[in-house]
Structure 1
């Protein structure tokens, strides 16, 4: 066979492969795609109670309630669209049991299409559920399921997780909305780095304590409000850190990008500093087996808002120094309150000190990692702060 004929045959074979597509694929219109999953303490949903009252039962214990948010894909004809006054952009369905996979299979006898998790964006877990069940138990199925992507984001909620998948805003799909809110890390340090399923899997495997962004709901709206703490050794939720504590974590872990420091001046009027850069560096000291940490925090920003009408904040050096000290004191207070909660209240390290020690002395870390949370609570941690005002917005001296 000539060379050009071989090339032509190869080209034809390649074209067949490209045209066949995915042999095991299904038409998207034939599937029910769910974008959100909420897990709450188990109790039968109202529709379940009615089904069960009519004898529609099966063997189970109500340990968890799973709610999925289905994004309809069925196309609508022109005449049908005219009849629709307020089209619904998502459907939430709930069921309880003691196996998430089995609950999903129960959905199959209530829906007209199989549910599929290829487009799952967010998982929200209720904190009360995490007091009863471990995070490893609740995440086992979703980590094993090949349909669910490792990039799916995981959150926690002190209220009912299913309420985070409800929105009062027209045309809004709550799961997509929550997923998009993570982008606002560029505006505030109250939003932590996203915790994906793949990242969570690694943290659980290492038995390290961790935090998940907390969601609060009110009147059909959802807000990021602090973080929930999962104890590494038990896998249970043990408490929450508030919004300012969350900012403190960003400072210590060198993970912040933006935000503000608001404090009050001598006349108790608010004054605000806009962060333009925030950096921190953690140094590890090990002497005769005694571990200590020192964190240096540096920031530059602008004096952006002043409410005091009694006096004028000028660019005079002594004046600037006074204002910088006000903001520095507020930053120190934020860090001090966070460290008290981590070392004295919850006795967990979720601020990255263990990671710094593991890099500094891997052998020592290996010998103490199983007891690290307890050791951390007794470890000395010191800080120094450098804050500089470099801009004043559009302010002009008179």
Structure 2
């Protein structure tokens, strides 16, 4: 065998050995503490400084981390077995609190982190970019993890609500129900937040709370763009109206009262499209929002309603149009009251009238409060379910 041939064979053997060798720095999965969720709460002033430590540290933030326990599944297949544990650390630096975990001989890993929940009370004192800077820069953290706000105690979200379930995972799964519930705001990932944080634009976060021991997503919290702090709360009706304005409803229902019969009926949303038109006349700006939806008459509460009658469908379409328009107006009024613009009006103005946007963008949310907004709603009821039962 020639020398060049021998050299090639040796290089091939060495190359194969390198490729077949395991990662030298890896740890067995049972020795890792996989982070599933994190909650940030404020530390009440009465509790600050109580813990005696010999390391300089302000006790401003309470960080609760939820770890998955892989060994729990190995010992028992019971669905009732607790599969996680929570750990609290108090401090003033997110990275420092993360490293505190190593004092307990653990090796935490953040690449399975699914959710972060931030207390609205904490976000009044500490800007969002300070709380999330570490996670946006950490290579182990995936930008697909979802961020929530909580008007209650954020760490309560990570307590066990269903036996055998991991709360951080359960919270993420609740957001998948948007195709059935129009009051759920779109989930927000770390990747989604980079743009608003950089441009100092206001944005929404889903509000996670615990009610009577049940984990829920109810309403939304608003983060003010300029300060990146908590600006206020939108209730479920205000969120629903905003979803109509932005055309971000994936499905769900809208319950309406028929004014003549004083009976309710349910409009099931099959599709929704929204368009924002910006009009500029001199120095005056105005917006017209068109909302177009198709759906079905899914449920009626009166035997006098003839679901298969075209006149009935037209009549009920008009009722839904009026109700949705009022809903959208109330949501827009709430945004103006809070001095936050999260309805994408500025985005429409920037695209349709870029020169005007350059003039008003620095003080946009104050300008927005004075700008008139009108609505045009078109609803088409093209379905009434599989059957029609009346008393006739």
Question: TM-score surpassing 0.5?
Answer: yes
Q: Deviations over 1:47-76 (max 9, x none)?
A: x96xx3xx5553222211100001012367
Mapping for residues 280-291 of structure 1, pairs under 5 Å: 280-291=274-285
- Once the two structures are TM-superposed, the CA of residue 185 in structure 1 deviates from its matched residue by 1.8
Partner of 1:19: 20
- Once the two structures are TM-superposed, the CA of residue 362 in structure 1 deviates from its matched residue by 3.0
User: Matches of 2:158 and 2:46 in 1, distance apart?
Assistant: 15
User: Matches of 1:319 and 1:334 in 2, distance apart?
Assistant: 23
User: Matches of 1:166 and 1:76 in 2, distance apart?
Assistant: 19
1:66 corresponds to which of 63, 66, 74: 63
Mapping for residues 112-123 of structure 1, pairs under 5 Å: 112-123=105-116
- State TM-score, norm by structure 1: 0.89
User: Matches of 1:374 and 1:91 in 2, distance apart?
Assistant: 46
Mapping for residues 182-197 of structure 1, pairs under 5 Å: 182-197=175-190
Partner of 1:243: 236
Mapping for residues 340-351 of structure 1, pairs under 5 Å: 340-343=333-336, 345-351=337-343
Contact residue 43 and residue 96 of structure 1 kept, 8 A: no
1:364 aligns with 2:364: no
- Once the two structures are TM-superposed, the CA of residue 122 in structure 1 deviates from its matched residue by 0.3
Mapping for residues 30-179 of structure 1, pairs under 5 Å: 30-43=31-44, 52=51, 56-74=53-71, 81=76, 87-109=81-103, 111-179=104-172
| Partner-residue secondary structure (3-state), 2:111 | coil
User: Matches of 1:73 and 1:245 in 2, distance apart?
Assistant: 41
User: Matches of 1:45 and 1:85 in 2, distance apart?
Assistant: 40
- State TM-score, norm by structure 2: 0.90
Q: Deviations over 1:15-53 (max 9, x none)?
A: 44532354443332222111100000125999x96xx3x
1:212 aligns with 2:205: yes
Contact residue 169 and residue 220 of structure 1 kept, 8 A: no
User: Matches of 1:255 and 1:68 in 2, distance apart?
Assistant: 32
Contact residue 70 and residue 83 of structure 2 kept, 8 A: no
Question: How large is the RMSD of aligned CA atoms in angstroms?
Answer: 2.7
5+ unaligned residues in a row in structure 1: which ranges? none
Partner of 2:380: 388
User: Relative to 1, partners in 2 of residues 1:6 and 1:247: Cα closer, same or farther, differing over 3 Å?
Assistant: farther
5+ unaligned residues in a row in structure 2: which ranges? none
User: Relative to 1, partners in 2 of residues 1:212 and 1:5: Cα closer, same or farther, differing over 3 Å?
Assistant: farther
1:319 corresponds to which of 312, 327, 345: 312
Query: After the TM superposition, which of the residue ranges 215-224 and 88-97 deviates more from structure 2?
Result: 215-224
User: Matches of 1:359 and 1:262 in 2, distance apart?
Assistant: 35
User: Matches of 2:15 and 2:249 in 1, distance apart?
Assistant: 48
1:255 aligns with 2:248: yes
